[in-house]
Structure 1
Amino acid sequence: MDLYYEVKGEGNPVVLLHSGGVDLREWTYITPLLAEHYKVVTFDARGIGKSPSPLNQVNYVEDLLSILNHLKLDKATLIGHSIGGQIATEFALNYPERVKKLVLIGPSLSGFQYSKDYNTFMNTINHAAPDLEKMLELSLNGSLYKIVMTSINRELMVEMHRLYFERILTWPAFEMVWPQPTAIDRLEDLSIETLFIIGKEDFLDNHRVGECFKRAPKVNFVEIPDADHMLPLTHTEELHHHIINFLKE
């Protein structure tokens, strides 16, 4: 196993998949809470944090499968944030027998048509490369980070974001591989009991993704007020409360 991972606690396994723009440290506060009752696995996605850079092709779904197999976890609850939620959704659609429950926090979704505003925001950041400081400024001033950037975890967010951009600027050219057909066309087949959590102040497109998930047969929705995209850093207690209640049902 070449990906960097950490395991805390004992009990039924729960695997946490971090957002883009950060690394496994986004779970700093919720991991010890969950580890009181569960075996909690966190890991840095390929090319992020302490994991190696991507080469040629990257299949994040198969990377997750490798983690489960390496740790001999036949079945686990997946908790995915942002692109981590996209990975968790794809995994649940393609390996449902390996997933006990699914928690999605402001997830992205393969096949979803993002708005002009969202694409402009992302393109503006990308066009600033390789000016790291400009990329940081443009990204962290985005509306999806407006609450975390005024919180006590501002410095942690900046530190993770800086390392993220430092890493991606060194990536070689590679192809990102996702299962086909895209998840947006398969949500009716999502057989896993799912909890969808989103901050009320998250980007509008992420709320539109939530509307798509209403097609899934076993999904429950929670909206947390006064929260942006970075719920694991700003609303740990609320997030933990909803997750624990969902896992105990």
Structure 2
Amino acid sequence: MDLYYQVTGEGHPIVLLHSGGTDRRDWTFLAPRIAQYYKVVTFDVRGIGKSPSPNGSVNYVEDLLLLMDHLELESATLVGHSIGGQIATEFALHYPEKVKNLILIAPSLSGFHYSEAFNEYINSINRVTPDIDQMLDVSLSGSLYQVVMSGPHRDRMIQMHRDYFNRILTWPHFEMIWPQPPAVERLDELSMNTLFIIGEKDFQDNHRVAEHFKKVPNVSLSEIANADHMVTLTHPDTLFVKIDNLIKE
């Protein structure tokens, strides 16, 4: 296994998949809380943090399968944030027997049509590449970071974002592979208990994604007040209670 990972705690396994713009530090406050009661696996996805750069093609779903098989986890609760939520959703669709519960924090979704405003936000970052300082200014001024950037975790967020941008600028050319058909067409096939969590002040596109997840048979939707996309940093205790409650159902 060439991905960098850490395992802490004992008991029912919970695998945490971090968001874009971050790495394992996305779980700095939540992972220790969960590890008091459960076995927690955190890892850097390929090309991020301490994991190796992509080479040729990347399949994040198969990477997760390899990690779980390496750790001899027959099944686990998956907690995915942003693109980590997209990976978790795809994995749950293709390997449902390995997913006990599915917990998604403002996930992205394959096949979802993002708005012109969202695409312009992404394009505005790309236009100032590779100037890291400008990339940081543009990215972190987005409304999805308004809460975290006005609070005590501002410096932590800036450092994670800086490390993330520095890393992705070293990537060689590669192909990212996602399963087909896209998950947006298959959400009604998710059979496990699913919890969708989103911050009140997250991007409207991410709230629109939540509407699609209402197709999931056993889904609960939860909005956290005064939170943005980085609810993992700003509201870890609230997240822990929601995760713990779902596992105990």
- TM bin, normalised by shorter chain, reads over 0.9
SS in 2 for 1:205: helix
For residues 178-219 of structure 1, give each alpha carbon's deviation from its aligned partner in whole angstroms, at most 9, with x where no partner exists: 000000000111111100000000000000000000011110
1:179 counterpart residue number: 179
TM-score normalised by the chain length of structure 2: 0.99
Specify the code of the residue in structure 1 equivalent to 2:235. Answer: H
1:161 aligned residue: 161
Measured after TM superposition, the shift of residue 241 of structure 1 is 1.1
- For residues 31 and 127 of structure 1, the distance between their equivalents in structure 2, rounded to whole angstroms, comes to 35
What does residue range 134-145 of structure 1 map to in structure 2 within 5 Å?
A: 134-145=134-145
Q: State yes or no: 1:209 paired with 2:209.
A: yes
- 1:82 counterpart = 2:64: no
1 CA distance for matches of 2:212 and 2:2? Answer: 34
Question: Matched residues, percent identical?
Answer: 63
Q: Which residue of 2 aligns with 1:10?
A: 10
Corresponding residue of 2:19: 19
Partner of 2:195: 195
> 2 CA distance for matches of 1:248 and 1:36?
15
Match of 2:47 in 1: 47
Deviation of 1:147 after TM superposition, in Å, equals: 0.4
Q: Which moved more, 1:68-77 or 1:236-245?
A: 236-245
Aligned residues between the structures: 249
Q: Which residue of 1 aligns with 2:38?
A: 38
TM-score (norm 1): 0.99
Task: Measure the CA separation in 2 of the matches of 1:69 and 1:128.
Answer: 40
SS at match of 2:215: coil
Q: Secondary structure at the match of 1:6?
A: strand
Task: Give CA-to-partner distance per residue, 1:90-147, whole Å, 9 cap, x none.
Answer: 0000000000000000000000000000000001101111111100100000000010
Distance 1:188 1:82 in 2: 20
Structure 1 residue 85 displacement after superposition:
0.2
1:21, distance to aligned residue in structure 2 (A) = 0.2
Q: Where does the alignment leave 5 or more consecutive residues of structure 2 unmatched?
A: none
User: What amino acid is aligned across from residue 33 of structure 2 in structure 1?
Assistant: L
Task: Give the Cα–Cα distance (whole angstroms) in 2 for the partners of residues 52 and 128 of structure 1.
Answer: 26
State how far apart, in whole Å, the 2-side matches of 1:245 and 1:13 are: 15
The 2-side partners of 1:79 and 1:34 are apart by 11
CA-to-aligned-CA distance 1:65-102 (integer Å, 9 cap, x gap): 01100000000000000000000000000000000000
- Corresponding residue number in structure 1 for 2:98: 98
1:170 corresponds in structure 2 to: 170
Give, in whole Å, the separation in 1 of the partners of 2:156 and 2:195.
27
Partner of 2:28: 28
Give unpaired runs (5+ residues) of structure 1: none
Q: Which residue of 2 aligns with 1:69?
A: 69
AA aligned opposite 2:16: L
Amino acid at match of 2:196: F
- SS of the equivalent of 2:162 reads helix
Q: How does 1:105-124 map to 2 (within 5 A)?
A: 105-124=105-124
Paired with 2:28 and 2:48, the residues of 1 have a C-alpha distance of: 16
Equivalent position SS for 1:214? helix
